[in-house]
Amino acid sequence: MKLQLLSFLLASGIISTSIAEPLVIAHRGASGYLPEHTLEAVTLAYAQGADFIEQDLVLSKDLVPVVLHDIHLDTVSDVANKYPSRHRDDGRYYALDFTLAELKTLDIHERSELNGKQVFPHRYQGKASFKIATFVEELELIAQLNRQFNRQVGYYPEIKSPAWHQQQGVDISKIVLTILREHSLDDPNKAIYVQCFDFAELKRLRLELGANVKLIQLIGDNSWGEADTDYTALQTPKMLAEIAKYAQGIGPWLPQVFDLKVGKPTGLVKNAHNVGLQVHPYTFRQDALPEGVSSEQILSILFQQVKVDGLFTDFTDTVVNFLAKQKAKNPS
């Protein structure tokens, strides 16, 4: 009887023997080719075949979520030239100190150090005018592209520095969740993941704010100061099981899933899978590979040996093409 039931479920498609294909997540859009988080970078990542496109979110002075990698403006824009006196005492320029109208006057450029040196020297070097996008603008752009091309490319927003925003008197999580609900995206069945480095905020999203959307716990290094979270502890089986009470997956740093020095997986992916968590590590960059290691070698390790469920990348096309070749070799 059990065999008959299993045969019926397989034949009807209610269950499947196929394994889900890994997700290609465009890290800040097609940031290997165009300035990060711009609408142009989003459009290129979409055209290159991304499954999901990331939006890092911070707030403007008038509480509009805008798409920027962090709370500062000076490493990706000409804010110091346009508003030279608007820095804080630490010399930095904060998105939260500018209205959306003011932010829209800024020109976005390739990420640079505070001294002006471009972080990735061989990336975009042109002088075209790129602008800061709002979260809603990116949601609508991707939705319209999906409508016109009959695709289901998803969203992957990150709530940036929620504790810092709260210290400034604003609740970024509530604001972002309100927008998701207005767009019918606070839904575990929709193509969207919401990520955060702050474990306390992740739990708050689920328990206090009642978020239904799929959540991802980002895992950084304790030295980065991303949040008041012990990332070393989060990687233990005990804490992975705790994460699984609130989230659908984790987003670890690449060295946390594979130790290149010893040439072995760390065990984090296996332990995460054991408690039902997906694993979407960050960030594959073909212009920042370890010495003597090729793109194909790294991708083979991640997808075939470590068996990650998805990958953040600045180079969507490279990862899409790699997976396509692997599927052609092994069509089953």
Supply the residues annotated as catalytic: 27, 69
Contacts 24+ apart (CB under 8 A), 119-122: 120/32, 120/285, 120/287, 120/288, 122/287
**What's the length of the chain?**
332
Interaxial angle between packed helices 199-207 and 172-182, expressed in degrees from 0 to 180 and rounded to the nearest 10: 50
Whether the Cβ atoms of residue 231 and residue 221 lie closer than 8 Å to each other: yes
Structure tokens at 225: 């100061």
Element (H, E) at 66: strand 65-67
Structure tokens at 41: 């970078």
User: Which residues lie below 8 Å from residue 55, measured CB to CB, with a gap of 6+?
Assistant: 37, 67, 135, 138, 155, 156, 157, 158
Torsion angle of alpha carbons 45, 48, 51, 53, nearest 10°? 0
* Amino acid in the structure at residue 90: D
